[in-house]
Amino acid sequence: MFATVDRDLEFDTQERRTMTTTGFGIDVGGSGVKGGTIDLSTGEMIGDRIKILTPQPSTPDAIAGTVAEIVEQAKWTGPVGITLPAVVTGGVARSAANIDKSWIDTDAAALFGKALGGREVTVLNDADAAGIAEDSFGAGKDTSGVVILLTFGTGIGSAVLHNGVLLPNTEFGHLEVDGKEAEHRAASSVKEKKDWSYKEWAVEVSRVLTTFENLLWPDLFIAGGGISRKHEKWIPHLTNRTKVVPATLLNTAGIAGAALASVGLTRPASVAG
């Protein structure tokens, strides 16, 4: 099954599927830029993960230089998938979260391609990349139908996949739920600010999930973000109807999803098609 991440993915994936066993992904975050080589049949990291602190200010040119440094350190010569904490359409960043606002309307694909010597580059939203990885290798790999990843942190990131096909840039954290944006109700930062117990926070998470499931009737929710590591303290208190499971890939999800996207896949190379 092929990604609908962007038009940049419209190339000969049939040939890639049969020939490509590894990919390279880079995950750009507000505090760090991480990259590594991924086994596309398992999602496992091959060798060490490379991490460089995000330059400040995190302007397009500065981050492009950091990305080039990671690729050079890894001695990777193939196509590269790169995530941004931004809505990305046609390779262009349309928003900017946790990175410099000068990213808005920057042609990120062209910028990174130039920084990497003209090689093929695929740029996608960071939550979308994590969703691709969890659906392919992690908590959603055995689930068909609609899978929704939600990352709980400062806000709420989202990724929606249907039988392995991505619906990009969903930004569910900004949907209104009973008069407030979803992330203003149920981001983990709200729990901390209001000093809620996990049980109290689960009430708001349930309210948000119920709204989302009334829109799309998903088969599975995957809960990501740092708070998913303590899933046993709050998932049992949820009252929505759809099953909720914790993410399993965590720190490698963005890299693995970007690596898959770099070769036009949203399913492992061994089962895509």
Determine how many CB atoms are found less than 10 A away from the CB of residue 137.
25
Nearest to 125 by CA among 146, 99, 145: 99
Q: Which domains does the chain have, with CATH numbers?
A: 7-129+252-262 (3.30.420.40), 142-248 (3.30.420.40)
C-alpha 128/C-alpha 179 separation (Å) is: 26
C-alpha 107/C-alpha 82 separation (Å) is: 13
Sequence-separated (6 or more) residues with CB below 8 Å from residue 14: none
* Dihedral, CA of residue 158, residue 169, residue 147 and residue 206, to nearest 10: 30
C-alpha 94/C-alpha 96 separation (Å) is: 7
pLDDT of the chain along its 273 residues, tens only? 333 344 344 334 434 444 579 999 999 999 999 999 999 999 999 999 999 999 999 999 999 999 999 999 999 999 999 999 999 999 999 999 999 999 999 999 999 999 999 999 999 999 999 999 999 999 999 999 999 999 999 999 999 999 999 999 999 999 999 999 999 999 999 999 999 999 999 999 999 999 999 999 999 999 999 999 999 999 999 999 999 999 999 889 999 999 999 998 766 544 444
Determine how many CB atoms are found less than 10 A away from the CB of residue 87.
18
Tracing tokens 């109700």 back to the chain, one arrives at: 185
CB–CB of 41/76 below 8 Å?
Answer: no
Say which amino acid occupies 211: T
DSSP 8-state code for residue 54: P
First to last CA, the chain: 5
C-alpha 237/C-alpha 239 separation (Å) is: 6
> Which pLDDT score, from 0 to 100, does residue 5 have?
44
CB–CB of 222/148 below 8 Å?
Answer: yes
> Which pLDDT score, from 0 to 100, does residue 127 have?
98
C-alpha 25/C-alpha 28 separation (Å) is: 10
C-alpha 222/C-alpha 100 separation (Å) is: 29
CB–CB of 170/160 below 8 Å?
Answer: yes
Tokens of 126: 């960071």
* 112: alpha, beta or left? (left if phi > 0; alpha if psi -120 to 50): alpha
Nearest to 122 by CA among 162, 164, 166: 166
C-alpha 174/C-alpha 155 separation (Å) is: 9
